[in-house]
Structure formats: C-alpha cells, structure tokens
Amino acid sequence: MAEPRLTAVIDIGKTNAKLALVDLDALAEIEVLKTANAVSNDGPYPHHDTERLWRFIVDGLAELGRRHDIDAISVTTHGATAALLDAEGKLALPILDYEHDGPDGLADEYDTLRPSFSETGTPRLPGGLNLGAQIHWQSRAFPDHFAAVRAILPYPQYWAWRLTGVQASEVTSLGCHTDLWDPARRDWSSMVERVGWRRLMPPIRQAGDCLGPLHPKVAAQTGLAADTPVHCGIHDSNASLLPHLLSRKPPFAVVSTGTWVVAMAAGGRAAAGLDPRRDTLVNVDALGSPIASARFMGGREFAVLAGTAPEASATEIRDVLSEKLMVLPSVQTSSGPFPKRAAEWVASRRLSEGERFAAASFYLATMTATCLDLIGASGETIVEGSFAGNRPYLDMLTAATGRPVLAGQANATGTSIGAALLTCASRAPSEELRLIDPSPNADLLASYAAAWRSRIGEA
C-alpha cells in the first residue's frame, strides 16, 4: 500500500475541536475546520457533548473528502478523559468533564486506593484530573450504571472505536496523570488489578497502529473510501513531542501550548527527582518511554489576564519591562508549579490593553521557565501550538531559561502534525522551526525575569 500523503486528523482540545487535513509531504495543515468544545450540563454531571462532536467529525470528513483524497485518519485529544462503554458499545455514563469537582467528594476514599508517585509518576490532582479518581467516583456514585460497563477507553481511542468498531488502549493517554499506568514496568498499575478494572481495559495498541478501515456505516456517511485506514491515536501533548523524538537527540524540551501549557524534557529528570506537589509528573511518550513533564493551565490563564487585548506595541513592551509591571502566580490555582499561591498584579498604574497582553505573555513565559527548571530541562526548547506565534512570550522564555528557543508554525498546532505522523512511521519529520533571534530588549528581559523569580522567592 502506498504511503499516505493527506491525513485527516481529529484533534479535540479542551476548549476547541478541529479537523485538520495534514499534507505529510509539506508537514503542514492545508485545511482546518473548527468548532467550540462546550461542556454540557444536562444529565448527572458536566460532560462532553459527544454526539455534537461526532456530527462535526462525520460532516467534516465528508466536507474535506469532497475536496481532497484522504489517505488516512488519525486522532489526538486532551487527557484525563475516558469513555465507559456497555455491552452494546453505548456510553454507560456520559464522558465526564475533568474539571467537575464531584470526585473530590470521595478524595479520602480514593487516596487509600491510588498507587504511590514512585510507582506511577502521577501527582494527586483535584477534580477529575486523575482519571482513576474519575472512574472510582463514577463507580461509587452510579453503581448500577457502572455495573453495565464492559470497556474503558481512553478518549482518543473512543473516537477511533467510533470510526472503526475496534476497541483499544494506548499508553500516552494511560500514562498521563491517570494512576492507571506504571511507566517503569510498562504495565497497568497495581490499583488497576486491585480494584478489578483490568478486565475492562481493551488490549494495548501502539499509537501508530492501524486499528482497521472505516466502519462501513461511517464510510457511507462520509463518502470516504471504505478501505481508509484509521490509526489508534495519541494524547495531544505527546503528539506535539513525537516529531522531535523522531528527528533529534536529547537533551531538548518541547512545550505544547493551548488550554494547558505542558513542558516535556527529553533527557530530563527521573521520577525520583520530581516534586509531585508542584504538578510535575511522568508522562509516557509515543514510544512507551517515561518523560519528565510539568504543566499549568496557561491558555486559560492568558484568556483571563489578556482576554481579546491586541498585541503589544514595541513601546508598550519596553514600558512593561522597564517598569516591571508583572503578574505573579497563580491565576488558576490547584494545579501548576504554584498551586496554593493566589495571583497578584505588581503594577503602580492602570495598564493599557497592549500592556496587559505583554504582561500576560511574560507571565506565561516565566511560568513555563519554572516548569522547565523543575523537570531538569536542558538544550533547546521547542514551542508548539498557540503561543508559538507570541513573540513577547518567546523572547521572555529565551531570557528566563538562558537557552535557545525554537518555535513551530505559528498558524498550526504541533498536535495535528504529530498525530498525522502516526499514519506514516517511516517518514522522517522535517518541520521547519524558527530560532528566536536575540531581542533588542535582552537586558531588560533578563532583569524582568530575575525580578519575577525574586518576588516569588525563587531567585
């Protein structure tokens, strides 16, 4: 079979969902369809509107298929999410929104069940951010519904199953702060066996495995060729990491930016050197290996701080730097490197909209630098996703880390490119990265970063 050139990527983020057509020859998105990914509040708890997303996927594949010959399909989604299916393949319970605080009501009970950080590399997180806590809460709060569960699918594999009818598990989603996976042993955690969930877990497949062709009904709905291959799928941050794992040697770091900013250090610290109290963790990459990671809800924080403010002018940037107008962590509490610290503006006057944009960008960059420090990152830092086009952020990240920063395509997300590469493992990734040249404000940037660290006690 010929290698695919055009891969349709279903890319479901926490805030938005998109369908991207990726040209693997150019390693670029050539067409993108988007929709908001709003949480539904009807039913027993806040949950994802899977039927609306499914209509978007089916209609989008049909639309793209009318204009292009789609050679393959891949899937990438946010983490901390799973589908509980009954014997007929229907949802036994709605797919929980991980921001729902319901699981916190059983936190003490769950804490007696969950494995140690040394086993899983999973820090204890609030709400449903630990997937194991979600499943435990669902099993206890809705025992009759949970009794009907016959399969637990990570979120990317749920969509792959709807496309193909084939159920699978995959390690990048299982190894993403779930409590379900032991990265060192490359096997299920002790809790999965202990609480009896092992029988509900479909077989492990590689992220790039072809699960099969489109289900005949889906092929008919979309008009795509019946033999279109569908690949297993991958957790979104790991999708951003994959092209770089395939094309460069450690040490280096990748920062995936979107609703979450996730820093991953190839060649970084082992689990024993991480601090779970500061939202550092062990992720599992697409090759099955542990990788030191840290994160914070940067995209959400930027929206709170800057909203729709226009980009800052050169004068506004210099004024923010010179006057050290800054934001201290954390805008979103309970996660990130400063989970118990409340946000604070350090400003002697009212800021213009452009100045707010600059200060918010610098805040994200200094937080990112903190995450990179915590995971022992070294070498180049590669920024993917929505902040790859934010020059104040990139300049401050360069100054705060003292290491080279490279940026991916400003108009694309690394998640879609990485997920597309799953459909053609033999293809050598060749994405062009932009080296961020020294800023004319380099001294001011370095002074600002030092002042920020001093104010939070990390100078």
Of 201, 232, 263, the residue at which a domain comes to its end is 232
On whether residue 319 sits in a domain, the answer given is yes
Both structure tokens of 183: 């990265």
Both structure tokens of 424: 């053609």
In the predicted model, what is the mean pLDDT of residues 331-350?
94
In the predicted model, what is the mean pLDDT of residues 280-298?
95
Asked whether residue 223 falls in the same domain as residue 285, the answer is no
Asked whether residue 225 falls in the same domain as residue 260, the answer is no
Model pTM? 0.91
Asked whether residue 12 falls in the same domain as residue 40, the answer is yes
- Which of the two residues, 457 and 64, has the higher pLDDT score? 64
Of 179, 198, 232, the residue at which a domain comes to its end is 232
Q: What is the pLDDT of residues 369-387, one digit of tens each?
A: 999 999 999 999 999 989 9
Both structure tokens of 342: 């409340």
Q: What is the pLDDT of residues 49-102, one digit of tens each?
A: 999 999 999 999 999 999 999 999 999 999 999 999 999 999 999 999 999 999
Pairwise CA distance, residues 262 & 217, whole Å: 37
In the predicted model, what is the mean pLDDT of residues 250-277?
93
On whether residue 138 sits in a domain, the answer given is yes
Both structure tokens of 230: 């569908």
Asked whether residue 214 falls in the same domain as residue 243, the answer is no
DSSP per-residue string spanning 274-327: --GGGTEEEEE-TTS-EEEEEEE-HHHHHHHHHTTPPPPPHHHHHHHHHHT-EE
Asked whether residue 151 falls in the same domain as residue 283, the answer is no
Asked whether residue 210 falls in the same domain as residue 249, the answer is no
Asked whether residue 180 falls in the same domain as residue 268, the answer is no
Over its C-alpha atoms, the chain yields an Rg (Å, rounded) of: 22
Assess contact for 353 and 320: CB atoms under 8 A.
Answer: no
Q: Among residues 399, 286, 417, 402, which one has the least CA distance to residue 266?
A: 286
Residue 410 has pLDDT above 90, yes or no: no
Residue 112 has pLDDT above 70, yes or no: yes
**Mean pLDDT, rounded, of the chain:** 95
For 199, residues 6+ apart whose C-beta sits below 8 A from its C-beta are none
Asked whether residue 252 falls in the same domain as residue 274, the answer is yes
Lowest mean pLDDT among 127-141, 263-277, 320-334, 407-421: 407-421
Cite the beta strand spans of 13-156 per DSSP E. Answer: 16-23, 28-36, 39-40, 47-48, 72-77, 82-85, 151-154
Assess contact for 89 and 150: CB atoms under 8 A.
Answer: no
Of 178, 207, 232, the residue at which a domain comes to its end is 232
Asked whether residue 309 falls in the same domain as residue 351, the answer is yes
Number of domains comprising the chain = 2
Angle at 47 between CA 422 and CA 256, to 5 degrees: 40
Pairwise CA distance, residues 179 & 66, whole Å: 43
Asked whether residue 121 falls in the same domain as residue 248, the answer is no
On whether residue 1 sits in a domain, the answer given is no
Relative to beta strand 6-12, strand 151-154 is unpaired
Both structure tokens of 210: 């072809």
With residue 99 as reference, give the H or E element that holds it.
Answer: none
Q: Among residues 446, 273, 303, 267, which one has the least CA distance to residue 369?
A: 446
Q: Among residues 106, 24, 19, which one has the least CA distance to residue 71?
A: 24
Pairwise CA distance, residues 348 & 210, whole Å: 58
Asked whether residue 289 falls in the same domain as residue 208, the answer is no
CATH (domain of 311):
3.30.420.40
Share of the chain above pLDDT 70, in %: 97
129 CB neighbour count, 10 Å cutoff: 22
On whether residue 310 sits in a domain, the answer given is yes
Domain limits at 448?
237-455
